[in-house]
Structure formats: C-alpha cells, structure tokens
Structure 1
Amino acid sequence: MSLLRSYDAFLFANASQITAVESSLRSLAFFLPGRFKDAELTAEALSASLNILGLYHDSILYRLVSSGSSPASSSSSPGLDSSSPARLAYTPSPHARYTTHFADSSPAYNLCARALVLVGYTELLAEMLARRRGGRKRAWDVVVGIEGVKVALRLALLRLTKMRPTIQPPIPEREVDPALLEDLPASGTASPTQWRGARTGLSRPTLASLKAPPATPASGIAGPTRARLAAGSRSGRSAASEFDSDSDSDDTLVESLTEKDVNDYLLSKTLKPADVRSPTELVRPVSSREGLLAEGIWIARPFAYALALRKYGRKALLPFFLSLLLELLARTLRQRSLALASGPRTNPLLLALSGGNPLLGLVTAFLGGAPTNQAVSDVEAAEWKRRGRAFWWYLLRGPAWDGWTKPKLEGLARATENRTLLGIVGGIVRDHIPLVDEYHFYSAT
C-alpha cells in the first residue's frame, strides 16, 4: 500500500508528463510492426501494458476529481481520501454520469465492466501468444474462448443495468486534463467558487463566486471570444495597446461584443435536458421483444462469427455473410424497437386544439402514428453511431478484404514507397497488412 500511495503522489505531481509519455509510447507501438523479428508481439505487449496502466491512471484521476483530495494528504486509502470535498471545477459528461452511476452503485457492474475493458485490451496479445506456442488451431480455441467470455460479460452488464443496452466503453473515460491537477493545492479544503449537486454530481458556480470581481476584464467570456478580443478585433490597434491603454475600460470591452458572442456565452451556461435527467434516464431499457432480440443478436454475433471462422476458415464466404446478416438483423430490430418506444402516437384531436392539421392527424392515426427512433441522450446517440460505424470493419474481413481492400492498400504502399513523407505512411500500411491476414482481433469488434 505504501508503494501505491507513493506512486499516486508521483502521478499527482507529474500528471502532464505522464500523459505525454503515454502518448509517445503508444505512437512508438504503432510504428514497431515490421521493424524486427516478433516486432508485432512487442508492439502489442507494449500497447496492452500502456492501456492497462492508463486504466489505472484514469481511476486515480477520476477519484481525485470526484473526491478533491491529493494523494499526499491521504492515509486511509491508497493515495485518496474519498471523504474530501471537490476542489476542481468539473462537470462530467453524460457518458461519465451514466457509467459512474452503475459503477458506484453496483460492485458487480464495476467488476464486469472493467473485466470487459481488460479483455479488450489483451485479446490480441493473447491470440498472438497462442499462435506462437500452440499453432493456428490453438489460437482459434483462444479466440473463441475470449469471444465467449465477452458474451458472458455483456449479458451480465445487460442484466445489471436492468436490461439497458451495453454502452462502450462501460466505464468512465478520461475527461479532465491531468495537468490541471498539478495546480491544485495539497490541502483538502473545498473551493468556495463551486457547488456540487448531491443527486446529479454537476458543478455550478456559487453566489460568492458570482459576486467576486473578475480576474481579468474578459474573464467571464468564453475562450474563443476572449482570444478574439485580445487580438484587437474591434479596431486596428495591436493587442497590447488594446489592453494596456489607460483609456480602455470594461465598458469598452463589453461594447465590442456582438450579439452572437453574448448568445453563445449564455447558451454555454444553459442546462440541456440531459443535464437534469438522472443517470438511469440517459439510456432507455429494452422494453420489447424486438429490442431484447436485437441486443441478444448483437452480443452473440462476434461469438458466432468466431465459431464459423474456426470451422470454415478465413477465406470462406459463409462466416462473412453470416456475421453481416446477423449485424443487419440486429440493427433493423433495434430501430424498430426504438421507433415503437419513442412515445405516444399523434392524436388528431390534440393536433386540432394546438393548431395542427386535423386531416393530417387523421391520416397519421390511421397509418399507425409517426414514431421516431431519436436517441434520448448523447449517450444513446453515440452508441448507435458507434454500432453503425462498425459496418466499416467488414472492409477488413473475408471477401471484402481479399478482393477489394487489400489490393487497394497494397497499391497505395507501392505508389508511395519512393516518396519522402508519403513513403512513411505507405510503409506503415504495408507492415500492417500481414497482421490483418494473420490475426482475428485486428479486425474484430
């Protein structure tokens, strides 16, 4: 525990440097394949290690932000004091609110979610090690086993969230610049300028902070507007004379703002519907047989695809089209279930009373209403977009990869191999093509 506290204190004091090191090593792992023997294994081991270490860093940073304590001032837990008030002005995103709610309220959810993330970080490394030690057959056994574990974990998350679709990633992401933590005081005193809601967890300015004089003439203005003012957009004078002149005043700076600047600033302070919703309302539970079947097919599809690949091989057409058909079926059923659950159908009487077209209302009612599958929050919208983008991965699979994508990428590598800068990109593409051919998890979702 003492070692963990020391490491947490070191992270707190050098957060920005550690983030830079993480980014540099991840870039190095991307360039390693093809450079020497077993370079891809080294690169993947480095990438998996960095991802796991980053996951630990994220948990520390999240607890620091939520508790407001510094590792050096805590002794009850490894580097943190969960009873300390918040000191960093931070409003979590809807995704962070949703995943944090279930992670904090359900230890089982937290365990399953983190296990699912860890499996995703290490699955390709496990496949590579199995291929080297046991051959192709052993590697496919490992692939099927990993996909089976992922199915079990996703089904567990589906049940633990009371039949809500699985969100990726199922744990909070890093949303605060770690460099900001270096400027926090070591004491555990609370900031007098921020108030945190007990139910929503949102941070808001206190009355004392609103009465306090601004630190700079334009401190209450958003960043882009403040930068524009500093550049002297109102007149031809330099930025220095704009602020150094004794004749300039706060009234002069305010007058330079346009109506759009004021509206943008006010809108940035306006609460959205998702801001006042409870975390459980950010993702709707599955409420129909179509929705439940769609989620089940989506969860089971990677496992069925891996089973078909192990039996028929990567060159066979059946695994490719089976996976594509299941994914399309899951998408269609999900859209139908969301449309049916989007709310009450249009009432022609209400349309007439509200000034709508009664005839159009009668036609709408006769046709069964006009439900939509619009997402209720940014969390849902991001998840549906992510699942929609997953169809692009089929360009790296089966006949699409062998017959179209791979020849195109090989042609790109040949065309750029003698170019100064483009040759670097072509070399990276050429070194990664054999990895897509060899390993399942390079193109798996």
Structure 2
Amino acid sequence: MGERLEIAAQKATIQDILCLPPKWLSLYSNFITKNQSSVTSIESALRSLTYIIPGRFRDAELASESLHSSIQLLSLYHDTLLLRAMSKLPGAPAQQSPHNRYTKFWIQKSNFYRRVAMTLSVVQYTELLWEMMAKRKGEKVRWRIAIVLEIVKAVCRLLLMRITNSRPLVSPPLPEREVIPEEAVEEEEEEDGFRDEGFHEERERPVKEKEYKMKRTGMSLPVLPNPSDISTYLLSKVLTADDIKAAPSLLNSTRGSAQLAEILYILQPVIYAVALSRSKDKRNWQPWLLGLSIEYAARQLRKDGLRTTSLEREQWAKRGWAMGWWAMRGAFYENVTKGFLHKTSDRLPSLISGVLDDYLYLWDGYYFSTSSN
C-alpha cells in the first residue's frame, strides 16, 4: 500500500513539473497583454540602441546583430500573443487599418498562410546575422547563404501569392501591432476570475462611465462624447469604402501583365544576388543595372486602374520609397555614394561620424545591410 502511494505521489510530481512550462507561458502572455504599452516602449528603446551601435567594436559585430535579431524575434512573438488576446475580445477594434484587416483574414482562414508568413518574417529578421556568420567561413560560403536565403524568401512570397489567389504581396505579411483597450483587458480579467474562483471579493475599482442599458428593450445607449471634441467623435464613426468591403476585396487578384509584374518583383532579389556573386569587381555596373531594370520593369508592367484599392496604393508607395535603397547597393554605392558618405563623415563631429562609420562598415561589407525586401 505504501509503495502504491509513493508511486502515485511520484506520478503527481512529474505531472506537476510537466504542467509548469504551459503555466509559465500563460503567465508571460497575461503579463504582455496587461502591460502592452510598457513592453512596446522597452522594445523600441532596445531597438533604437541597436540602431545607434550597429557595428560598434567591430570584432563584436556578431554579438550586436544577434541582439538586434533577438529583439525583432521577441517582438514578433509578442505580436502573436497580442493578436491572440485581441481575437478573444468581443467585437473588432473601432479603428483597424486595411492592412491588418486583410492579413488577419488570411491568417484566420489559412494556417498555411500563417506559417509561411511567419517563416518569411523570421528569415527577414535574421538574414544579416546568417550572412555575418557565413562570412567568417569565406566569401563563397557567404554568397551561397545569401542566395539560399533569397530563394527561401522568394518561395515564401510565391506561396503567399498562390494562397491568396494571385493577389499582390503585402509588407509586412503579418498584422501590425494594435493597441488593446484597457477596458477590454479588465473585463476579460473579471470574467477569468469568475470562471476560476466562482466569485469575486470586493475590491477598489476606478469609477468609469458605462453604457446605459434600457430595462425594457435591453438595448444599450453609448456614452456621450466630450462636447469639446465632437468633430473627432463624428469622424471616427464615418464609414469609408474600405470599411464596407470584405477583407479579401481590399486587394484585387492580379491577371496578365500585373501578375507578371508581381512575379518579377519576387524573383528580382534572387537574380540580383546571383549576378553579384558571379561578379568579381564590386564596381561592375552590370549586376546593379540588371537588378534595377527588373524592378523598374515590374513597376511599369503594373497598370493603375479604377479598381485599384487604397491598400494596393499604399503597398506600391512603400515599394516606390524602397527603390531608394538602390543608391546604397552594388556599383552605384561603390562608385558614387560611398565616396560622398566617407567625405561627409570626415566633416561631421566625432560622435555623429562614429555612428555613420559603423553603418559604412556594414554597407561596405554586407549584402543584406541594404536589402529592402
């Protein structure tokens, strides 16, 4: 009898130990949800710090980039936790961007989309770190890793295009972080308390304005806005065309030349990386002209029409601004931009020139330091 009790006690102990990790993750998730603004501020501060010292103490470049990639991945995990918490709240956020509506739709509809988008995001956050590690083993290994990473990203983008029925890509492919209303979080905490304990002890709560619920009909009347801010309140209630559209209709499916333009945009980084790896002279204009020509052709093949949505215009505007990075790549950087930046660095105060020199060190030696997609 005593041995059976001992065995039962050991089994219970093992089960308790195995249950600890999920409990810790649950506690961590609740902490992130309740302290969203503080966590976001800390992430921004750490990210800014890594931007200020990108290659500080150049022997420790791998450590600084590892820190930056870790912060990005942790932020991505926090976004997942907050998105999960937001999905449990009743109703949708009052102000939700078309990008978030679109990406949330596909994440909820297709687990495959979520996995591919997550893989693409992880590769984008860690690509420079992989290149740094590969460069220590030689230039050949470095370019092989760079080409493999570009191929992985291209495959992910082609899959996303396939999943969304030939719709254009959005950047980022996952929803951006949204603010969770404090009132909703507190209501959820109260519901969890009732569910877990069965009752609530009386506690001090801040007095809040609540919606008035009519006794006979059961309908609720909203809280009246501040008289001094009526215009903002009314504007927040106005529905636009994008608010009425179904989420998948926020982007039109591509056909013909538009579809070819999207495929060219996806394949351009792979072709450019292969051309660079085969060029022995950094000042050779051929790879740079090839890559820029493909991206420019992709923009020209796309035709703006009356059916173009605001989300499409937003994404193509982002791509237009991203083309500015061609001034920091390949032969244009080696022949034009590099000399100008080095001369500028010599004229700046030591503190500012030190930060600029660190970036020049990255731009001079790493392919992914100026990658925009």
- For the aligned pair, the TM-score class normalised by the smaller chain equals 0.7 to 0.9
Q: 2:165 aligns with which of 153, 162, 166?
A: 162
Question: Letter of the aligned partner of 2:369 in structure 1?
Answer: Y
Question: Letter of the aligned partner of 1:208 in structure 2?
Answer: S
Question: Letter of the aligned partner of 2:295 in structure 1?
Answer: E
Q: Which has the higher contact order (CA 8 A, sep 6+)?
A: 2
| Cα deviation, residue 7, structure 1 | 1.3
| Cα deviation, residue 33, structure 1 | 3.4
The answer to whether the aligner puts 1:3 opposite 2:24 as a matched pair is yes
Match of 2:278 in 1: 311
Q: In structure 1, what is the Cα distance between the partners aligned to 2:351 and 2:180? A: 31
Match of 2:371 in 1: 444
8 Å CA contact 1:294–1:331 kept in 2: the answer is yes
How many residue pairs end up in the alignment?
Answer: 329
Match of 1:141 in 2: 144
Deviations 1:1-42 (A, max 9, x none): 222112112223433332222122112212223432433222
Gaps of 5+ in 2: 1-21, 193-208, 213-217
Deviations 1:420-442 (A, max 9, x none): xxx43322111110211110001
| Cα deviation, residue 327, structure 1 | 0.7
SS in 2 for 1:187: helix
Q: 2:120 aligns with which of 100, 105, 116?
A: 116
Q: 1:383 aligns with which of 315, 331, 348?
A: 315
Q: 1:286 aligns with which of 244, 254, 260?
A: 254
Select the structure that is richer in helix. 2
Match of 1:57 in 2: 78
Q: In structure 2, what is the Cα distance between the partners aligned to 1:220 and 1:207? A: 22
Deviations 1:158-193 (A, max 9, x none): 11000001111111000216877765551238x985
8 Å CA contact 2:55–2:362 kept in 1: the answer is no
Match of 1:98 in 2: 102
Gaps of 5+ in 1: 69-84, 195-205, 227-260, 344-374, 418-422
Q: In structure 1, what is the Cα distance between the partners aligned to 2:127 and 2:55? A: 20
Q: In structure 2, what is the Cα distance between the partners aligned to 1:112 and 1:21? A: 28
The answer to whether the aligner puts 1:126 opposite 2:58 as a matched pair is no
Q: 2:328 aligns with which of 374, 389, 396?
A: 396
Deviations 1:351-391 (A, max 9, x none): xxxxxxxxxxxxxxxxxxxxxxxx312x2111110111121
8 Å CA contact 2:55–2:64 kept in 1: the answer is no
Q: In structure 1, what is the Cα distance between the partners aligned to 2:72 and 2:181? A: 16
Q: In structure 1, what is the Cα distance between the partners aligned to 2:354 and 2:364? A: 17
Mapping 1:31-430, distance limit 5 Å:
31-68=52-89, 85-86=90-91, 89-132=93-136, 134-176=137-179, 186-188=189-191, 208-210=220-222, 212=223, 214=224, 219-220=225-226, 226=229, 262=231, 265-287=233-255, 289-313=256-280, 314-335=282-303, 338-339=304-305, 342=306, 375-377=308-310, 379-417=311-349, 423-430=350-357
Deviations 1:45-90 (A, max 9, x none): 111111111111111111212212xxxxxxxxxxxxxxxx35x854
| Cα deviation, residue 121, structure 1 | 0.5
Match of 1:240 in 2: none
Question: Letter of the aligned partner of 1:424 in structure 2?
Answer: L
| Cα deviation, residue 108, structure 1 | 0.8
| Cα deviation, residue 299, structure 1 | 0.6
| Cα deviation, residue 290, structure 1 | 0.7
Q: 2:360 aligns with which of 433, 440, 445?
A: 433
Question: Letter of the aligned partner of 1:437 in structure 2?
Answer: D
8 Å CA contact 1:52–1:118 kept in 2: the answer is yes
8 Å CA contact 1:414–1:426 kept in 2: the answer is yes
Q: In structure 2, what is the Cα distance between the partners aligned to 1:50 and 1:44? A: 10
8 Å CA contact 1:65–1:90 kept in 2: the answer is no
Cα distance 1:178–1:118, how it changes in 2: closer, same or farther (>3 A)? farther
Question: Letter of the aligned partner of 2:268 in structure 1?
Answer: R
- What is the TM-score normalised by the length of structure 1? 0.69
Q: In structure 2, what is the Cα distance between the partners aligned to 1:385 and 1:394? A: 16
8 Å CA contact 1:147–1:303 kept in 2: the answer is yes
SS in 2 for 1:38: helix
SS in 1 for 2:190: coil
Q: In structure 2, what is the Cα distance between the partners aligned to 1:48 and 1:209? A: 48
Q: In structure 2, what is the Cα distance between the partners aligned to 1:109 and 1:285? A: 16
Cα distance 1:34–1:167, how it changes in 2: closer, same or farther (>3 A)? closer
Question: What percent identity do the matched residue pairs reach?
Answer: 35
SS in 1 for 2:191: coil
8 Å CA contact 1:30–1:43 kept in 2: the answer is no
- What is the TM-score normalised by the length of structure 2? 0.81
